[in-house]
Amino acid sequence: MWYGLLAEILRNGTKYTSVGPEILKLDRDLYNGVFFEKHIDKDTLTGFLKVSSIYYDIIKLLDKRYESNDIVMLQKLDEELKGLTEEIIEIRKTQIDFCNDKLDNDNLRKAMHQTGEEDFEKLEEITKLNSKIDNMTADNDIKLEKAKIEEQNKSEEYGKIDEERTKLDTDIENCIDKLNKVLAELDGKNIDIFNGLDIDTLREQYEQGLVDMFPNVAVRKTYASYLFDVLKRENKMLSETYATAQQFVSSARKENGYDVQELAIKNDKINMFSALNGVVHNELDQLIPTLFKYEPDTNQIITQAGNNYLSVQPFIDGMYDYIANMEQYEMDNSKSRTDFRKINAYNDKMQELFSKTNVGPVGKVINQITNTTIMSRGLGLIIHDAQPYDFAMRANNLFTIAILKTRTQVQQEKQTTISNEQPIEQINKANKSNDIQIQQLSEEQKRMFAENFLTTSVSTIDDESLNSGDMKR
């Protein structure tokens, strides 16, 4: 699972505990590692990360095991095999009856010859009947051979899918064994990464250490705001995943296919969090530092871009909050619809703001820019202006796709389609990974998704409400 920030802090803090302060001023990763490592229980964090990684693997294996295409195919093959079995039994029964009829006819012919009392009209009738029986048995032999071949092919196809599921079961069992070992190591420990510390108290001190790296005040404050927000959310999700993993190993049984229904929504939360946190972490980890490092306060365009990143943070938080509230939504569908439509309205606002950044033809290449691209000042200025809104829309795209892919939603809304009438199962096949390269939904598809998937009346959300903190951090 992508717990990038906490994993990096652990890795860098462990690796670079003795670097000098002059190096820390120039390297954000080293600074984060050394700054936080003295406040973090590294053993507990290491255990949490192991639990989360293993349990995330289990979720992915369960997703494969319960992939709708496999289940539907197995059910279809099972029905077809039952039909073929019945057909084969019926043909064999008919053939046996024909054989018995022909034996009776031959015995009658034999008896006539033995007694010397031949009835030639009867013998001619027997010959005709046997000829008909031979023709019908020959036809049935062809049908039987065809049915047997089809049965064998379908049995092999069924066996192949079933064998893959058996392998998945073995992999799941192996993961459960690993998980139990890590859980046993954590048992009895104080499960608190920060040892009771309110990490918000570190924020001002943390910001001061970024002055040389991010001299622009707006950028520095924005970066710290995102970092501490992600830090708290990852910490909370690690704790939730730990509790979910404990419940899973105590309830999952092979005979039930390891299907623990009460954990379905929790597993969806973990999947969705991973998808959203991946793109947010990538922005925080690479793009923001790459674009804004060492930019002075006098650069007004950079200042505006930093403020733009801060302005889209409530939108990002709204998606994080939606994921956090998924259990609540199960009992209150109206709140789910309201919050989802609020997020959709924010995305429309991002689209509008993005269109006003004068990206022109450059906008087409924004998503293609790698984290190591050396940009000219002219190109860089345009991208700085548009990047925060582009980031927000990419995050929303992954968030929306993650909702489509959740197992609970797919089970509840199997007939739901998007604009081109493709079933959800086809969307799942088209979007196998959760990284930033995932196929993007069009704006029209998102709107259709909002209309069909969460059917309700939409309340108007104007600019004032968007800026008034409806989605509070």
Q: What is the pLDDT of residues 84-118, one digit of tens each?
A: 999 999 999 999 999 999 999 999 999 999 999 99
Q: Using alpha carbons, list the distances in angstroms from residue 93 to 7, 86, 119, 417.
A: 67, 11, 31, 47
Domains: count for the chain = 3
- Do 360 and 279 sit in the same domain of this protein? yes
The number of angstroms, rounded, from the C-alpha of 161 to the middle of its chain's C-alpha atoms is 21
What share of the chain in percent tops pLDDT 90?
47
Same-domain pairing of 383 and 276: yes
- Band (pLDDT 50/70/90 cuts) for residue 243 is very high
CA neighbours closer than 13 Å in the CB half-sphere of residue 54: 25
Whether residues 199 and 276 share a domain: the answer is no
The answer on 31 and 13 residing in a single domain is: yes
Does residue 353 surpass a pLDDT of 60? yes
Q: Does 411 have pLDDT greater than 50?
A: no
351 pLDDT above the threshold of 80: yes
Highest mean pLDDT among 33-42, 52-61, 455-464: 52-61
Residue 48 maps to a domain: no
Any domain includes 184: no
Q: How confident is the model at residue 359 (pLDDT cuts 50, 70, 90)?
A: low
Q: Do 37 and 136 fall within a single domain? A: no
Within-domain flag for 33: yes
pLDDT tier, 358 (very low <50, low <70, confident <90, very high otherwise): low
Q: Are 207 and 297 in a shared domain?
A: no
Q: Is the pLDDT of residue 453 over 50?
A: no
Question: Residue 7 sits in which domain range?
Answer: 1-41+192-213
Asked if the model's pLDDT at residue 18 lies above 90, the reply is no
452 domain residue, yes or no: yes
Residues contacting 464, CB < 8 A, separation 6+: none
Q: What integer best gives the mean pLDDT of the chain?
A: 79
Does 357 or 193 have the greater pLDDT score? 193
Residue 291 shares a structural domain with residue 391: yes
- In three state form, how does the secondary structure of the chain look? CCCHHHHHHHHHHHHCCCCCHHHHCCCHHHHHHHHHHCCCCHHHHHHHHHHHHHHHHHHHHHHHHCCHHHHHHHHHHHHHHHHHHHHHHHHHHHHHHHHHHHHHHHHHHHHHHHHCCCCHHHHHHHHHHHHHHHHHHHHHHHHHHHHHHHHHHHHHHHHHHHHHHHHHHHHHHHHHHHHHHHHHHHCCCCCCCCCCCCHHHHHHHHHHCCCCCCCCHHHHHHHHHHHHHHHHHHHHHHHHHHHHHHHHHHHCCHHHCCCCHHHHHHHHHHHHHHHHHHHHHHHHHHHHHHHHCCCCCCCHHHHHHHHHHHHHHHHHHHHHHHHHCHHHHHHCHHHHHHHHHHHHHHHHHHHHHHHCCCCHHHHHHHHHCCCCCCCCHHHHHHHHHHHHHHHHHHHHHHHHHHHHHCHHHHHHCCCCECCCCCEHHHHHHHCCCCCCCCCCCCHHHHHHHHHHHCCCCCCCCCHHHHHCCCCCC
Q: Within this chain, do residues 150 and 271 fall inside the same structural domain, yes or no?
A: no
- Predicted confidence at residue 14, as pLDDT, reads 56
Q: Is residue 286 scored above 60 in pLDDT?
A: yes
* 434 or 49, which is more confident: 49
Q: What is the pLDDT of residue 436?
A: 31
Whether residues 254 and 127 fall in one domain: no
- Say whether both 27 and 130 belong to one domain: no
Tell me, yes or no, whether 305 and 417 share the same domain. yes
CA distance 256 to 37: 42
Nearest Cα to Cα of residue 219 among 277, 167, 284:
284
On whether residue 64 sits in a domain, the answer given is no
Amino acid identity of 30?
Answer: L
Which residues make beta-bridge pairs with 417? 423
**317 in any annotated domain:** yes
Q: Are residues 389 and 430 in the same domain?
A: yes
CA angle 200, 205, 206 (to 5 degrees): 80
**pLDDT, tens digit, 9 for 90 and up, residues 123-150:** 999 999 999 999 999 999 999 999 999 9
The proportion of the chain whose per-residue pLDDT surpasses 70, expressed as a percent, equals 76
pTM over cut 0.85: no
Say which residue the tokens 């999947």 belong to. Answer: 271
**Domain assignment of residue 469, yes or no:** yes
Does any domain span residue 52? no
Confidence of residue 82 (pLDDT cuts 50, 70, 90): very high
Taking the C-alpha atoms of residue 424 and residue 412, their distance in angstroms, rounded to an integer, is 11
